[in-house]
A and B are shown apart, each in its own frame.
Chain A
């Protein structure tokens, strides 16, 4: 099946838009993961500090 130039151009535009959306999605998932990791490590540090303070008393 041969695509007409119009169909080909529309498909190319859709593919580019899809690629852009996927890149944005990957960035968002990455950013979310980093934020969660940061939150967990902050929590772990706070917990360790509390434990140290409790042992010192």
Chain B
């Protein structure tokens, strides 16, 4: 295994490198879903406490990302998508990243507990331990179901937001959890279908590596068939209103259509595009036969954002609800 580039004895890391350790892209989705959970819950938390709560959730999620990068530096160095990360590229040492992650985890959990309640803080702590410990250390390298089980870590933020606002985590909060949980496999496997070479090189048993592209395409379709009805459910249970229902149904049909197209395609049958493709471009610039996978990957992000945006809009303008 190729080790990450050695960090210099005296660090030349910049503050931006430490910011990158927080996985800002992932953090933006975490913030968005946590805000939605907090607003939809209609608790009595003041705006300042709400802002502190969201900041804590964002920093806690970022801390989990930093711990993940500290633990995965060697693996990240092997994959195009991740080899520019601070630890993999040798700009930040593994120990510094680990310390950064642990300190931020402790501070974010404690502050969330002080500012809101200890249920929310406990859920945040659980999320960090689940992602950095359970998923990164145990699951990721052991089972092709890694992303299915590990996906729970990304699904906690709306529950934490809800708990922060009300001190409780009722079934509505867990319905939001379930939406993200079931969204994760089709989303991640669509990406894995055209990055399988990278995962194989890094020794990670992602579904296309472990079971092949054909089986992965079928599983994406099956998960999509379960995911879309669950995504529509808030519109039928009073959690969402007419806007939500319209977005969930229309987007859900689009999601299923793309999943069927992907299932009928040959995406992932050929090795992914040459190393020459840039790290960022590799996410979207793919072989012609892999385009259904790329389309589903991109649309899945849009759909999830649209679902939570609809809930948010309806909560902020209550007359639009059913």
Chain B residues near A13 (CB-CB < 8 A): 14-15
Q: A17-B18, A35-B46 are in contact. Are A11 and B11 (CB under 8 A)?
A: yes
Look across to chain A and name the residue whose beta carbon is closest to the beta carbon of B49.
A35
B107 CB contacts on chain A under 8 angstroms: 25
Interface residues of B, Cβ cutoff 8 Å to A? 8, 10-15, 18, 46, 48-49, 52, 55, 107, 111, 114-115
Which chain A positions have C-beta within 8 A of B52?
28, 31-32
Q: How far, in Å, is A31 (CB) from chain B's closest CB?
A: 6
Known A-B contacts A7-B12, A10-B13, A14-B14; A29 and B48 likewise in contact (beta carbons under 8 Å): no
Size range of the chain A interface in the assembly: 10 to 19
Q: Which residues of B contact A17 (CB under 8 A)?
A: 15, 18
Number of A-B contacts (CB under 8 A): 44
Which residues 14-55 in A have Cβ within 8 Å of B in the complex? 14, 16-17, 25, 28-29, 31-33, 35-36
Q: By the criterion CB–CB under 8 Å, are A3 and B111 in contact?
A: no
CA of A32 to CA of B121, assembled, Å: 14
In Å, the complex CA distance between A16 and B14 comes to: 11
On chain A, the residues within 8 Å of B13 by CB distance are 10, 14
Contacts of B114 in A (CB 8 A): 29, 32-33, 36
**Which A residues are in CB contact (< 8 Å) with B49?**
32, 35
Q: Which of A6, A11, A28, A33 has the most CB of B within 10 A?
A: A28
In the complex, besides A10-B13, A14-B18, A33-B114, 4 extra interface pairs with C-beta distance below 8 angstroms are A10-B14, A28-B111, A29-B111, A32-B49
Instruction: Check if A28 sits within 8 Å of B12, measured CB to CB.
Output: no
The CA-CA distance from A35 to B48 in the complex, in Å, is 9
Please, which residues of chain B bring their CB within 8 A of the CB of A1?
Answer: 10
State A34–B107 Cα separation when bound (angstroms).
Answer: 18
Q: What CA separation (Å) do A6 and B8 show in the bound complex?
A: 12
- With a CB–CB cut-off of 8 A, which chain A residues contact B48? 31, 35
Question: CA separation between A17 and B11, bound complex, in Å?
Answer: 15
Q: Are A10 and B115 touching (Cβ within 8 A)? A: no
B46 proximity list for chain A (CB < 8 A): 35
Are B111 and A6 interface neighbours, CB within 8 A?
no
A32/B115 in contact, CB under 8 A: yes
Complex-state Cα separation, A1 to B10, whole angstroms: 10
Subset of 18 A-B contacts with CB under 8 Å: A3-B10, A7-B11, A7-B12, A10-B14, A13-B14, A14-B11, A14-B14, A14-B18, A16-B15, A17-B15, A25-B111, A28-B52, A28-B111, A31-B52, A33-B114, A35-B49, A35-B115, A36-B114
Minimum CB–CB distance from A1 to chain B (whole Å) comes to: 8
Which 4 A-B residue pairings sit nearest by Cβ, starting from the closest?
Answer: A17-B15, A10-B12, A32-B115, A7-B10
- Cα of A25 to Cα of B115 in the assembled complex, Å: 13
Q: How far is the CB of B52 from chain A (nearest CB, A)?
A: 6
CB-CB < 8 A to A6: which residues of B? 12
Nearest CB on B from A6, distance (A): 6
